Amino acid sequence: MLSFESDYNNGTHPEILRRLCETNDELLTGYGADKYCASAKEKIKKACGKDDVQVFFTVGGTQTNLIVIDSLLDRYAGVVSANTGHINGHESGAIERTGHKVLALPHTMGKLMPDVLRKYLREFYLDETFEHTVIPGMVYISHPTEYGTLYTKQELTELSEICKQYDIPLYLDGARLGYGLMSTGTDVTLNDIANLCDAFYIGGTKVGALCGEAVVFTHNNTPRYFFTRTKQHGGIMAKGRVLGVQFDTLFTDDLYFRISRHAIDMADKMRDAFRKKGYKFFIETITNQIFIVLENKKLNALAKKVTFSFWERVDDDHTVVRFASSWATTEQSVEELAALL
For its own copies, the binding residue among 14, 49, 106, 185 (CB under 8 A) is 14
Query: Is 211 an interacting residue with respect to its own copies (CB under 8 A)?
Result: yes
Question: Count residues contacting its own copies (CB under 8 A)?
Answer: 76
For its own copies, the binding residue among 44, 55, 59, 292 (CB under 8 A) is 59
Query: Is 202 an interacting residue with respect to its own copies (CB under 8 A)?
Result: no
Nearer to its own copies, 114 or 203 (CB): 203
Query: Is 9 an interacting residue with respect to its own copies (CB under 8 A)?
Result: yes
Q: Cβ 239 to its own copies, closest distance in Å?
A: 6
| Binding residues for its own copies restricted to 150-169, rule: CB under 8 A | none
Q: Which stretch binds its own copies (CB under 8 A): 84-92, 114-122, 142-150, 297-305?
A: 84-92
Query: Is 8 an interacting residue with respect to its own copies (CB under 8 A)?
Result: yes
User: From the CB of residue 2, how many other CB atoms can be counted at a distance below 10 Å?
Assistant: 18
Q: Which stretch binds its own copies (CB under 8 A): 18-26, 276-284, 286-294, 315-323?
A: 18-26
| 3-class SS letters over the chain | CEECCCCCCCCCCHHHHHHHHHCCCCCCCCCCCCHHHHHHHHHHHHHHCCCCCEEEEECCHHHHHHHHHHHHCCCCEEEEEECCCHHHHCCCCHHHHCCCCEEEECCECCECCHHHHHHHHHHHHHCCCHHHCCEEEEEEEECCCCCCCCCCHHHHHHHHHHHHHHCCCEEEEECCHHHHHCCCCCCCCHHHHHHHCCEEEEECCCCCCCCCEEEEECCCCCCCCHHHHHHHCCCCCCCCHHHHHHHHHHCCCCHHHHHHHHHHHHHHHHHHHHHHCCCEEEECCCCCEEEEEEEHHHHHHHHCCEECEEEEEEECCEEEEEEECCCCCCHHHHHHHHHHC
Query: Is 49 an interacting residue with respect to its own copies (CB under 8 A)?
Result: no
Residue among 134, 141, 131 at smallest CA distance from 172:
141
Q: Cβ 92 to its own copies, closest distance in Å?
A: 4
For its own copies, the binding residue among 37, 94, 141, 163 (CB under 8 A) is 94
Query: Is 129 an interacting residue with respect to its own copies (CB under 8 A)?
Result: yes
Query: Is 125 an interacting residue with respect to its own copies (CB under 8 A)?
Result: no
Q: Cβ 339 to its own copies, closest distance in Å?
A: 20
Query: Is 283 an interacting residue with respect to its own copies (CB under 8 A)?
Result: no
Query: Is 176 an interacting residue with respect to its own copies (CB under 8 A)?
Result: no
Nearer to its own copies, 151 or 247 (CB): 247
Contacts with its own copies, 231-270, as mask; x by CB under 8 A = xxxxxxxxx-xx----------------------------
